């Protein structure tokens, strides 16, 4: 599968799920309407499909959907964080980004450690870190949208020193970001379903005790 194809497929899936209203509960807690979420994902999809890039220097190119849009979304999520913890989460997100960069560098210098596809090893580490830091879904998404593009920025600068060219937010970075978002969505959906089952089981037990 070519780089970037996985990201486009995941974006299409999210577009369908949002349109069907599956994510309305999460968006309501975040203060986002369904139409706004559809517009954001559609913008990501269009920019990814056409590969819009900005060139600042002859050797530096920045992808709109791979770098600029994730940082803009992270900034919006940052504005909705609790005021007392905003700076803490920014520092934590930066630390996660540096750790992910180091992990990618380690896999690049020693490919033997890549026991699995890197497209999933890095997202798994990012999602695990986000779930460990906070129980808030908004904070978790903020950490993902900050740490993964930051790690790609650092890795692109590292490649710039080696090859003389720098593409920030390339198709491979798209795959890493959206693989992490999809994995986070699966974890969040599984956790929500487990909570519903436990609640249903608790209510059923209490009703049976009352009847007795």
How far is Cα of residue 149 from the mean position of the Cα atoms in its chain? 9
pTM over 0.85: yes
State mean pLDDT over 13-42: 90
Question: pLDDT tier at 189 (50, 70, 90 boundaries)?
Answer: confident
37 inside domain:
no
In a domain, 205, yes or no: no
In a domain, residue 3? The reply is no
Residue 149 forms part of a structural domain: yes
Residue 119 lies in a domain: yes
Q: Whole domain around residue 134: which residue ranges?
A: 53-189
pLDDT tens for each residue of 45-85: 999 888 888 887 777 889 999 999 999 999 999 988 877 78
Position 18 in a domain: no
92 domain residue, yes or no: yes
Contacts 24+ apart (CB under 8 A), 25-28: 25/192, 26/137, 26/188
Number of domains in the chain: 1
201 occurs within a structural domain: no
Query: How much of the chain, in percent, has pLDDT values that exceed 70?
Result: 91
């Amino acid at each position: 599968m070519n780089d970037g194809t996985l990201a486009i497929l995941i974006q299409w899936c999210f577009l369908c799920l949002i349109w069907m209203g599956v994510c309305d509960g999460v968006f309501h807690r975040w203060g986002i309407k369904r139409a706004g979420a559809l517009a954001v994902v559609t913008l990501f999809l269009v920019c990814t499909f056409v590969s819009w890039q900005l060139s600042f220097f002859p050797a530096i190119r920045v992808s709109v959907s791979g770098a600029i849009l994730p940082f803009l979304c992270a900034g919006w999520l940052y504005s909705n964080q609790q005021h007392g913890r905003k700076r803490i989460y920014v520092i934590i997100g930066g630390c996660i980004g540096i750790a992910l960069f180091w992990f990618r560098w380690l896999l690049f210098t020693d490919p033997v450690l890549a026991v699995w596809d890197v497209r999933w090893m890095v997202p798994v580490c990012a999602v695990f870190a986000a779930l460990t830091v906070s129980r808030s879904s908004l904070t978790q998404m903020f950490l993902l949208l900050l740490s993964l593009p930051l790690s790609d920025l650092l890795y692109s600068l590292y490649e710039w020193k080696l090859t003389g060219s720098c593409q920030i937010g390339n198709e491979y970075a798209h795959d890493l970001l959206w693989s992490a978002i999809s994995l986070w969505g699966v974890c969040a959906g599984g956790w929500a379903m487990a909570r519903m089952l436990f609640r249903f089981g608790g209510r059923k037990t209490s009703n049976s005790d009352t009847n007795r």
